[in-house]
A = this chain, B = another copy of it.
Amino acid sequence: MATPPVTTDQQWPAAHEPCAYAPIAVTVDVVVLTLCQGRLHVLLVQRGEPPHRGCWALPGGFLRAGRETLAEAAVRELAEEAGLRLGADPSTALGRIHLEQLGTYGDPGRDPRMHVVSVAYLAFAPDLPAPEAGTDAATAAWHRVDSLDLAANRASGPSAEAHGGGVGGRTGARPTQGPPQATTRPTDPTGPSAVITLAFDHARIVADGLDRARAKLEYSPLATAFLGHDFTIPELRAVYEAVWDEKLHPGNFHRKVLSVPGFVEGTGSTADRGGARGGPRARCYRPGDAQVLHPPLLRPARESEPAAPGSPACSRPLPSTP
């Protein structure tokens, strides 16, 4: 109704003189998840530059205008900042890394320097894909996700946009969110203690990535992306247990996985050794050709709520965006 006169079409911001308008930067950040010693880890780099210097942050960088897609930028940044060269060798575990778009974070003020719009990607990598070799990315390290303070920086990013309730005028309350100063001391990369606070709104991005990962294991075969070419059902179960942080029933899990068409297909061989503390050798499998698990592997119902009498217990966290 009484909106100010604006052209119907997208008004073009003087493209030929790009400075006339918006000084907005576009970056790509990547949440790379992997399993080390049965624990879920995320790849972080230590910042050497002023905003949040010394803090740990997600690997990422600026999109090269006109020269690459968003996903290509994600792959490039992973190589540059963490020494992960994804597609280089498809025969190795690294060639099988899964990469998908996670969400875009564009609140003004999420970077003190200027308005930065960050497109976040989520990757699943097999165990320890070269823990950042002698490249210039010496500051990259894997961190246990349970050592991160993921409660920080709420009310930003895609998760905050009017999920449950409907849009009320301005959608997200503008966060007062003074970004955390670099007070956090980096700790032992794999150490279980010492909570780490991430730079910018990266805690929220990691939290969204974890939500997405946990949800995707239910209905996609991507758990295999955390493993090598061949794996056993117990290894696959360990992936689920690490990501979901739940103990699963070995027998039922085994039968369930094999009952989903296209999830895994058996190689003829068996594992070299038996279980960690004994037991028969497990059979080996490869990823099947299914893109979706049907029926899905549902997480055991986390019964936190009192649960209405007579009705089954139910409370499953809402997946980040999907």
Q: Report which A residues bind B (CB closer than 8 A).
A: 1, 3-13, 15, 18-19, 21-27, 45-49, 60-72, 74-75, 79-81, 83, 85-88, 90, 95-104, 106-108, 113-115, 117, 119, 121, 133, 135-140, 158, 160-164, 166-172, 174, 212, 215-216, 220, 225, 259, 261, 291-292, 294-295, 301, 308, 311-312, 314-322
Contacts and interface: CB of A to CB of B under 8 A. Distances in A.
Given A70-B106, A311-B261, A169 B19 contact: no
User: Of A97, A158, A167, which is in contact with the most chain B CB atoms at under 10 Å from its CB?
Assistant: A167
B136 A8 contact: yes
- Which secondary structure characterizes the binding site on chain A? loop
Contacts of A140: 8
Contacts of A101: 103-104, 158, 161, 321
Given A3-B137, A10-B62, A71-B171, 4 more contacts: A13-B62, A69-B108, A71-B162, A117-B119
A119 B100 contact: no
B166 A70 contact: no
A46 to B, nearest CB: 8
B19 A166 contact: no
Contacts of A12: 49, 113
A291 to B, nearest CB: 5
Nearest to A260: B314
A80 B174 CA distance: 21
Nearest to A311: B261
- Nearest first, the 10 A-B pairs at minimum CB distance are A322-B322, A87-B169, A18-B23, A71-B171, A294-B314, A22-B65, A101-B158, A71-B161, A70-B106, A96-B166
